[in-house]
Amino acid sequence: MALYRTEGIVLKTRNLGEADRIVTLFSPAKGKVRAVARGARRPRSRFVSATQMFAHADFLVFSGKSLDSISQVEVKTSFPRLHDDLTKLAFASYAVELLDAMVEEGAGGEAGQGDEGGQGSGEVFGLLLSYLHALSGGRDPEMTTRAFEIKLASILGYRPVLDSCARCGAADRGGEVGFDPEAGGLVCAGCLGRSPGAVRLSRGTVELLKRLSDLDFERISRLGAGPGARSEMERAMRAHLDYRLDRKLQSLEFLAAVKAAPGGGR
């Protein structure tokens, strides 16, 4: 059996048998990796903290015929603040489920379909790690997560078109616009009539979406978007991503419940 070493972040865990746990990791070199951690559900197991959601660790893995198996692990951080705060937990759970749904298993160094720039899973890994640190460090969870969505989509080849009409190609001149998931971005006033599924966007929201794609998480957290713009951004990105996903994400219900609770989704 071959042994390999990889850094990884836990995207998903599932119980197996009496005491084992199967984890899906995201590795900068290998993309999505599934491996079993034997005995991980026993209280004294050395795998307990390394097999929690979001754990960032160095893994030593045996590659098996059907399933890889974790042999050793060294945890870098388990992001305890993401587990202690329901709002952060809900946003982080959504982000890792989104990544899991958008990236094929075994995609290796080339993350996703339609990847034009040749950027691979290393870039996706870096994005996820900086997102989890930003969220854990108290950055605005909603804006940080919107930025994660748009940056992830861009790396995977689904960057929304924001500076021209995604239908007719006319440059955006600041007039009335919508966001059309089918066309993959902004649509001009002239094309809105042919985009029944479009989300109407105010000018401020268009500018914010551009910034989410360009700025780092710390600066995004300080943008100070109002509730109207937040709602428009959320609807536009939800439509953009759902159009490209083949299943509904389970974590969205948890996220909606947390946001609806008093003081939720700050």
Q: Is 165 in the site for Zn ion (CB under 5 A)?
A: yes
Contact region with Zn ion (CB under 5 A), list: 52-60, 162-170, 209-217, 238-246: 162-170
Q: For 136, how many CA atoms within 13 A lie in the half-sphere containing its CB?
A: 17
Only one residue has tokens 């959601």, namely 53
Give residues with Cβ within 8 angstroms of 226, minimum separation 6.
none
Work out whether 189 is an interface residue with Zn ion (CB under 5 A).
no
Nearer to Zn ion, 171 or 260 (CB): 171
Q: Choose the stretch contacting Zn ion; rule: CB under 5 A; options: 9-17, 44-52, 73-81, 183-191.
A: 183-191
The 3-state secondary structure of 185-240, one letter per residue: EEEEHHHHCCCCCCEEECHHHHHHHHHHHHCCHHHHHCCCCCHHHHHHHHHHHHHH
* Position 229 contacts Zn ion (CB under 5 A): no
Binding to Zn ion in span 40-69, by CB under 5 A: none
Nearer to Zn ion, 7 or 180 (CB): 180
Q: How far is the CB of 180 from Zn ion (least distance, A)?
A: 10
* CB-based contact 80:109 (threshold 8 Å): no
Work out which of 127, 167, 251, 258 binds Zn ion, going by CB under 5 A.
Answer: 167
- Name which of 57 and 188 has its Cβ closer to Zn ion: 188
Site for Zn ion in 190-209 (CB under 5 A): 191
Residue 144 CA: distances (Å) to CA of 54, 116, 249 = 16, 25, 19
Q: Is 178 in the site for Zn ion (CB under 5 A)?
A: no
Determine, following the binding rule CB under 5 A, whether residue 177 of this chain makes contact with Zn ion.
no
- C-alpha dist (Å) from residue 222 to 144, 226, 233: 10, 12, 16
186 binds Zn ion, rule: CB under 5 A: no
Which run of H or of E encompasses 58?
Answer: strand 56-63
Nearest distance, CB of residue 185 and Zn ion, angstroms: 10
Closest to Zn ion by CB, 43 vs 174, is: 174
Residues that bind Zn ion (CB under 5 A): 165, 167-168, 188, 191
